[in-house]
Structure 1
């Protein structure tokens, strides 16, 4: 191949790489609900998004109606921990808090974290485990979630290293097989993340409020009691509470009534529990999520002081 042709091909390849979108800690893949810095302000976001194939405006209502119908299909049952003899809720929380740090270190997609937590809980629901194998379960679940969600997942060697070589490569792969067999290879789930992206989009939520709502649903991952609520309920309650904390003019606007299965009163019990998580985050020994959301890229939403009384107020 002559040098001129080689140069042309190299220039084309470099141009493609420049245009390729880069993932960052702020980015998350959207399913008909992309959150961008430039919000449209239509009467019907789905109709105005019909020209954008990534947002699937023509089908969004049907898609999310279907997701609501199947969201409970692969959820762990609250209360499974009473069948575990060697671990408890506190150990589960410590594991997930550590995995949030691993997730951040590897710069993985938000979906990967939610899937990882789901796999851990569903496995623990089916199998009793010794505390010495709990971290092994965590890294194996993160490995599966990374393979499922990421374009370039971390290698097995990376996960062995992150455990300070507590486990071998063979042990991680063995646990990966065990998880997949116990769950019958059913990996696809509906997480709160998909719903919160949708609800933020249709209600024209600003980015700071969206990050605050995201902070809450990530706190719910570590909280064992949050398992009582469906993903769409957690997402809707987080949006509701974020609007209330930031003194939005429309806490639960008509666009959310039209595009969620919930009315305002149905959200209050879950929103109250999320508010307790927010208030307790400062005193909690599990600080990974709070530190993550104290970054400027997340508008430092974990630094917002929550004061609960008859009304919810916030001070920065």
Structure 2
């Protein structure tokens, strides 16, 4: 799979550094505030975020309770690959590695990647496909995800070019229509990244901690066996493992338990699989993920030699 001349087609909108929204210096308004809440309830993360229009501290708990309640509606079922005749897990891994590389080169938003992979898996769950159109499915799913998540997204002719012109613009558009029709236009679904943003905030992660946890959850995109875990389980397991590797005393803070209702026992299986993914990533044939998280913008977390040397 060719990423011919990718640097020519970078998403310029996403290269622009976005200013951090101004948050009120005072934690409470100068008038009209609830005195009872101030005097009886300790100030928590959500209270601090109440003036941040992006974090919506006063709604955050309810929002993520809802997202957790619907997260299994539109995720692929475990074992779907057994019904495919021509493709296998290894071919899927090669495709996702290529999608990660393209996503990085175009400088697309994180959510675009997770949605694209979700669309690929859900389509493959329903339709038996040949190896000759696997990359076409990948680029078309990425186009759908771009249209859904991005403000400015790559032109279709540029997406055709990154396949080394293996597919035409018309073929990409035709496959886009097939994917949408097959999935009955059900696109919206919460990702492990969205949950990670929330959980890392509750744990007050530093930037490097967040990038390491992000590295872990993106590994799961490559691993077909990780489909069996829900996005929220993957996200909280990544937070748990990051805390464990950092020798944090409270591996699962009470705020996280209150938000997710998960216990340490609930995370045991997923955390073990994440550790295996981390141990095996250096020996994998696919390298886009390691290359991505070796960059300074991702705190170079992939350069850790093994589990024991992180931080």
* Shorter-chain TM-score tier: 0.7 to 0.9
TM-fit CA distance, 1:23: 3.3
- In structure 2, the partner of 1:314 is 309
Aligned twin of 2:53: 53
Unaligned 5+ runs, structure 2: 1-12, 28-41
Pairwise CA RMSD: 2.0
- TM-score after normalising by structure 2: 0.86
Q: Aligned partners of 2:17, 2:43: CA distance in 1, in Å?
A: 27
Distance in 2 (CA, whole Å) between partners of 1:164 and 1:122 is 26
* Partners of 2:219 and 2:277 within 8 A in 1: yes
Measured after TM superposition, the shift of residue 124 of structure 1 is 0.4
- Cα offset, 1:249, TM superposition: 3.0
Matching of residues 270-281 of structure 1 within 5 Å: 270-281=270-281
> What is the CA distance between 1:265 and its match in structure 2?
1.9
Count of aligned pairs between the two proteins: 280
Conserved in 1, the CA contact under 8 Å of 2:245 and 2:310?
no
In the alignment, structure 1 segments of 5+ residues that lack a partner are 1-21, 308-312
Find the counterpart in structure 1 of residue 266 from structure 2.
Answer: 266
Asked if the contact 1:192–1:217 (Cα under 8 Å) also holds between the matched residues in 2, the reply is yes
Taking the TM superposition and a 5 Å limit, the aligned residue runs for 1:1-316 are 23-24=14-15, 43-307=43-307, 313-315=308-310
- Structure 1 residue 268: deviation in Å? 1.6
Q: Deviations over 1:193-220 (max 9, x none)?
A: 1110000111101111110000010010
Corresponding residue SS for 1:58: helix
Task: Report the equivalent of 1:17.
Answer: none
TM-score of the aligned structures, taking structure 1 as reference length: 0.85
Regions of 4+ moved over 3 Å: 22-27
Does the CA-based 8 Å contact 1:116-1:144 persist in structure 2?
yes
CA distance in 2 between partners of 1:70 and 1:169 (Å) = 35
Is the Cα–Cα contact under 8 Å of residues 75 and 118 in structure 2 kept in the other structure?
A: yes
- Residue 248 of structure 1 and its aligned partner are, at CA, apart by 2.1
Moved more, 208-217 or 258-267: 258-267
CA contact 2:246–2:310 (8 Å) conserved in 1: no
Q: What secondary structure is seen at the aligned counterpart in 2 of 1:148?
A: helix
Cα offset, 1:26, TM superposition: 9.4
If asked which structure has higher relative contact order (CA below 8 Å, sep 6+), I would say: 2
Instruction: Report SS of the residue matched to 2:306.
Output: strand
Q: Residues 251, 305 of structure 1: CA spacing in aligned structure 2 closer, same or farther, 3 A cutoff? A: farther
